[in-house]
Structures are given as C-alpha cells and as structure tokens.
Amino acid sequence: MAEISANRARTIIRKTLAKGKEMGLKPLSVVVLDSGGHVKAFEREDGAAPGRFAIAHGKAYGAVMLGMPGSAQMARAEKQHYFMTAVNGVYGGQVVPVPGGILVLDKRGNTIGAVGVTGDTSDNDLEAGMVGIEAAGLSGQG
Amino acid sequence: MAEISANRARTIIRKTLAKGKEMGLKPLSVVVLDSGGHVKAFEREDGAAPGRFAIAHGKAYGAVMLGMPGSAQMARAEKQHYFMTAVNGVYGGQVVPVPGGILVLDKRGNTIGAVGVTGDTSDNDLEAGMVGIEAAGLSGQG
Amino acid sequence: MAEISANRARTIIRKTLAKGKEMGLKPLSVVVLDSGGHVKAFEREDGAAPGRFAIAHGKAYGAVMLGMPGSAQMARAEKQHYFMTAVNGVYGGQVVPVPGGILVLDKRGNTIGAVGVTGDTSDNDLEAGMVGIEAAGLSGQG
Amino acid sequence: MAEISANRARTIIRKTLAKGKEMGLKPLSVVVLDSGGHVKAFEREDGAAPGRFAIAHGKAYGAVMLGMPGSAQMARAEKQHYFMTAVNGVYGGQVVPVPGGILVLDKRGNTIGAVGVTGDTSDNDLEAGMVGIEAAGLSGQG
C-alpha cells in the first residue's frame, strides 16, 4: 500500500498550520507518522512550548498503533481509564488519548499513517488537522 | 531571549527558602530549570526527604514543557486525569501536576524557565516560590 | 538569544535535502532541534528507512546537550569509547556520536540549536547539512 | 552518620566554581549527592551546555553507588570496559566513569556523599572539585 509521501506530509502540515492561523489558534505543532508509526515529518510553530513534539507524537502514535483515532481513545478512556493508562504504559508512555490524533486513509480506506496536532484545545487541534489532511487529497478519521 | 543566570537562580532559591522559614514551613527543596527544561540550580534543605529533587523537578519540568503552570495542570488533571497521566508517560514520568511548578517570565512576558518547589503543602510551596522569583526581579505564573 | 525560527528550520531542511540530491546521496532525513534540544522540525525523504528519525535526532541531541558537534564526539569515542557509551546511557540512549550532528550558531557565535542529518555516509550527511545551515544564514559547527 | 549539610554543599559548589575561574576553566557544573546518592545541591555556570547536569550527576552517582571514585572507575573501564558499560546499564544509564566523580568523606573516613564536576577536561574538573570539598572542611577521594 502507498505510504504518505514527503510532499503530501509537507502539505498536510502546511495546510493544518494555515487553518490554525485562520481560526486564530495558539501556535500549533503537527507530526505525520507513516503506517508503521514512524516519524515522517514535523513542525512546531514559533511560540509553541518546547515539549509539543512529544504531545503531537503521542496523539498520532496511539492512533496508528491501536487503529483508533483520538476521539475513540478518549471515549474509551472516559469509560475505562485504567485501560488507556495501561496502553500508555505498554507503549513506553507514547500514547495521548485525546482528539488531535487522526488516522490518515487513502482512497481505498486503508490506513496509511496518522497525524498528531497539538497546541490549542483538542477539538480545535482536530479541526485544523482534518483540513490539512483533506488538502493533501487524503481522508482523516479523528 | 535571555536565560535565568546562575546569580538569579541562586537568588530565587535563597529567597524561596527564606520565605519558607518565615512561614514556618517544613524543609523545602527548590529547583530552577532553563527555558528548555534543563536543570540550572537546586537545593534541598536539611531534613527534607531524599527524593525531593525528583518531585521539585517534576513540578517544574511539566510546567516548562507544556507551557502550563502547576495550578493549570492540576485543573486539567481534575477534569481529565487520564490526559495528565498520559502526559506524565510521554515525558518519561517527569511531570507532577500540582501547584509549586511555576513558570518564570522576563519583563517582556517570555517564558525563560521554571521553578519547582516541594516540601510543604502545594499551596505553601507555590507561595514561597513566587516570593523567590519576584525577589530575583522576575515574574512567576503559578 | 534568538531561537531557530520555523521558517529557518524549513529552509535548513529544504536546502540540505537539495544538496543531497545534487550530490546523488541516498534518501536523507534531517531534524532541527532548538537550543534546549527539543524538536523544531523534521523531514524524512521518500525511500529512507523508517527508523531514521531516531538516528538524526540522536546525532543532533548529543551535539546540543554536550555542546560538542558530531566530529568531536566521534574523536572522543575513538579515544575513550566507554565515556561516549556512558554518555549515551546518561541521555537515555539519545546520543549518536558521528558526523552529521551539527551545532547551529547565530551571528554572535551563540549556539541556538542543532541539526542532525542521516541517510548516506556520515561525512556526506555532514556536508549536506552544512550547506543547509548556511543557506539559512546561520553557521554550523560539524 | 552525619550527612553533607546544605551549608556545606553550597560551600563545596561555590569554592569549586571559584577554583575553576582561577584556573581559567570552561564553565563548570557541580552536583552534590548525599550518602544515598540523592541530589542535595547543584549549580550550572552560565555558558555551560544544557546537558551538563546529567554528566555531573552521572560522575557522582557512579562514585557513591559503587564506593569508587571516578579515577578508579576509569581504571576499571580501561581494563574491562564492558563491565563499566554493564554497570552503566544496571544503574539506568546514570554512571559516567571518568575523573570528576569524587567521594566525600568526613573526619572519620566515612563516605557521606559525592561530588560530580564537569565542564572542562576530566582532570581539571577533578582538581577544582577537590579544592571545593576541602574548603568545606571535608576530604575527597577522586
């Protein structure tokens, strides 16, 4: 199956940040992971806190590793928090179960990676990320 | 942007401990981190438990990495505890989300580091730390 | 002191990859860290192995945390390998002591971050990265 | 047995840094650990690299945990490097086996803690630290 190319990853990030600016959000940070959960591209806007890479990565990593977007992870956490806490442990701390972790699908519906957005509220992070993914001609599941 | 100098870090610690003594607090431990979250200075008062460095560090580290003072982290933990638990995981256990983790700002409002105070109640830790930061000519966000 | 802006980080990466293409190198991966060692931007070229983020990060992270570019770390490893091995341990495995980890300096000679390049031979990684840094109007110490 | 008091720790650090300035060394970082290996005090001079706390800590921690000063650890590493590498692993990466990790002894010869100095060459780090320890009325074993 096709992976997210460097060009598309760059577009996803650029368009996500542009949407964030249009929405007047706080500085965002956006990561793109491939289908194996490995970092493909990342950008942290000026003014964002230094630790934002880790949060963006945690949102996207949990999504791709579990096959569950951030909203679904949050719903699970609300019902059974010790499970999501255990999942965080199982993945070496690298899972942040809130909106902004978005699965990326190709035209056939295959998961080809994930995007993690952080910096504003989770819902705003998610909204900006969905626009970025769609601008790259792909579908997102947030 | 300027970092917290060794002189200022020493003043922050000295004045925080002095305030603690004036308030009759238990022995305090105070850490100063730079804007990247790296340890600049630390002191553990005689009689404090041996593990207090880690608690002070955790309070300050979470603050600077997230750009959120301890009180804000605690408010988030009260509303969505699994999120702060995940954040602790993402940062290798180095996040303690309660008052006493104080962002340090320069005159222009830029975050130039963080202070972590521990040893008494969180509220008292925070009060002593704010005095120490202001005595060094800086502003604190607790 | 000023940090590497998102614009400059993007330029560093773009120009490093362009140099790599001009030199006919294997697909490169380039990370930009700020002065505290935190990830600012990253890109992995199509065709690069999935684990290249960690190598690029390790080259840059060791450089900024120690204040020693990759070539200097390698010289130290050649003379006293158990020291660099211990340093890798102290930083949680995040240190890769070979050329390609480049300190980034501003006009005044202050270290404002680091770049990590990986994908081809270390010497070629370093050469491409130096071009990228200079194209962004900054100086590199490799 | 008596521990290193906060006053003495402060003196050790102050006098070590003063000696470093007198010797014209690069900016130093000095940590004082108690007999259990827990951080008592620390200071990083302006201009030192951000990761120096970890190096200073690693030097002192290995010393107190093994009961072996840095020079002895280095001698062991030279003869059997895989042993010291294993020891680094056993202590979670927190052992740096070179001069500058100094055991602190009281008048009766009991080990009451350790000092870790880093920033210049290991031998210079050690020399400055020994002066700091003696200035506090204690003995050092480097």
pLDDT in tens, A3-46: 999 999 999 999 999 999 999 999 999 999 999 999 999 999 99
* Residue C74 is assigned to a structural domain of this protein: yes
Which residue, among A39, A45, A65, A112, would best test binding to C if mutated, counting the most C CBs under 10 Å from its CB? A39
**3-state class (DSSP) for residue D108:** coil
User: pLDDT tens for residues B99-139?
Assistant: 999 999 999 999 999 999 999 999 999 999 999 999 999 99
List the structure tokens of A79.
Answer: 């019902």
Q: What is the pLDDT of residue D2?
A: 82
What CATH number has the domain bearing residue D61?
3.30.450.150
Q: pLDDT over 70 for what percent of chain D?
A: 99
Preferred mutation among C35, C66, C90 to probe D, highest tally of D CBs within 10 A: C90
Cα–Cα distance for residue pair A112/A40, rounded to 1 Å: 12
pLDDT digits (tens, 9 = 90+) for D43-100: 999 999 999 999 999 999 999 999 999 999 999 999 999 999 999 999 999 999 999 9
Per-residue pLDDT band at A2 (split at 50, 70, 90):
confident
Chains that touch D (3 or more CB pairs under 8 A): B, C
Q: What is the mean pLDDT of chain A?
A: 97
- The chain-wide mean pLDDT, for chain D, equals 97
- The region that residue B67 occupies, defined by phi over 0 for left and psi between -120 and 50 for alpha, beta otherwise, is left
CA atoms within 13 A on the CB side of C18: 10
**Mean of the pLDDT values across residues A89-106?**
97
Q: What is the pLDDT of residue C70?
A: 98
Q: With CA atoms as reference, report the closest residue to A103 among A135, A76, A136, A65.
A: A65
SS3 B107: coil
The residue type of C123 is D
- State the sign of the Cα–Cα–Cα–Cα dihedral D2, D5, D9, D15: negative
Measure in Å the smallest separation between the Cα of B132 and chain C Cα atoms. Answer: 24
Query: Helices in chain D by DSSP H: which ranges?
Result: 6-22, 52-66, 70-79, 81-90, 122-135
Contacts of A85 in chain B (CB under 8 A): 82, 85-86
Residues of B in contact with A97 (CB under 8 A): 82-83, 86
Cβ atoms of D56 and D36 within 8 Å: the answer is: no
Residue A1 lies in a domain: no
Helix H, strand E, coil C: the string for A3-66 is CCCHHHHHHHHHHHHHHHHHCCCCCCEEEEEECCCCEEEEEECCCCCCCHHHHHHHHHHHHHHH
Residue B20 lies in a domain: yes
pLDDT at A15: 98
Q: Is C91 helix (H, G, I), strand (E, B) or coil?
A: coil
Nearest to D45 among B6, B34, B44 (CB): B6
Contacting B with CB below 8 Å, chain A residues are 48-51, 54-55, 57-58, 77, 81, 84-85, 88-89, 92-98
Q: What type of residue sits at position A33?
A: L
Distance, in Å, from the CA atom of D114 to the CA atom of A59, rounded to the nearest integer, reads 41
Which residues form the domain of B17?
6-141
pLDDT band at C130 (very low <50, low <70, confident <90, very high): very high
User: Looking at the partner chain, which of D48, D55, D81 has a beta carbon nearest the beta carbon of C90?
Assistant: D55
Q: Per the domain annotation, does B1 fall within a domain?
A: no
| DSSP bridge partners of A33 | A39, A114
Indicate the number of domains in chain C.
1
Of C36, C41, C46, the CB nearest to A43: C41
**Nearest residue to D119 (alpha-carbon basis) of D56, D43, D39, D33:** D56
D2: amino acid identity, one letter: A
Question: Of A62, A90, A61, A64, whose CA–CA distance to A76 is shortest?
Answer: A62
Token reading at C128: 């491409």
CB contact under 8 A, D55 and C81: no
Residues of B in contact with C2 (CB under 8 A): 1
Average pLDDT score, chain C: 97
Which residue, among C20, A50, D81, has the nearest Cα to B68 in the 3D structure? A50
Which helix (H) or strand (E) segment is B82 a member of? Answer: helix B81-90
Compute the nearest-CA separation of D3 from chain C (Å). 26
Identify whether A135 is part of a domain: yes
The answer on pLDDT for B1 being more than 70 is no
> Quick check: C1 pLDDT over 70?
no
Q: What is the pLDDT of residue C101?
A: 98
Q: Is residue D1 part of a domain?
A: no
Tokens of D68: 């072996």
Q: What is this model's ipTM?
A: 0.96
In the prediction, which pLDDT does B2 show?
77
- Say if the Cβ atoms of A38 and C46 lie within 8 Å: no
Q: Please list, in sequence order, all residues whose beta carbon lies within 8 angstroms of the beta carbon of residue C122, skipping any fewer than 6 positions away.
A: C70, C74, C98, C99, C100
- Chain C with chain D: Cβ pairs closer than 8 A: 65
Q: Categorize the per-residue pLDDT at B89 as very low, low, confident or very high, splitting at 50, 70 and 90.
A: very high
Closest residue on chain C to B1 (Cα): C1
Does residue A125 lie in a domain region? yes
Task: Calculate the alpha carbon distances from B86 to A82, A92, A124, B20 in Å.
Answer: 11, 10, 20, 32
Which residues of chain C neighbour B94 with C-beta distances below 8 Å? none
Q: Which chains touch A (3 or more CB pairs under 8 A)?
A: B, C
- Among the partner-chain residues C66, C81, C85, the one whose CB lies closest to the CB of D88 is C85
Tell me which residue of D96, A42, B70, D10 sits closest to C65, measured CA to CA.
D96
B89 part of a folded domain: yes
**Which residues on chain D are in Cβ contact (under 8 Å) with C90?**
54-55, 57-58, 88, 93-96
Do chains D and A touch, with touching meaning 3 or more CB–CB pairs less than 8 Å apart? no
Q: What is the pLDDT of residues C67-122, one digit of tens each?
A: 999 999 999 999 999 999 999 999 999 999 999 999 999 999 999 999 999 999 99
The whole-angstrom distance between residue C78's C-alpha and the CA centroid of its chain comes to: 20
Strands C111-118 and C29-34 come out as: antiparallel
Residue D1 pLDDT exceeds 90: no
Q: Mutation test of the interface with chain D: which of C79, C83, C104, C105, choosing the one with the most D Cβ atoms within 10 A? A: C83
pLDDT of D25 over the 90 cut: yes
Is the distance from CB of B15 to CB of B131 less than 8 angstroms?
yes
Q: How far does the CA of residue C3 sit from the closest CA of chain B (Å)?
A: 8
Question: How many angstroms away from the CA of C78 is the closest CA of chain A?
Answer: 31
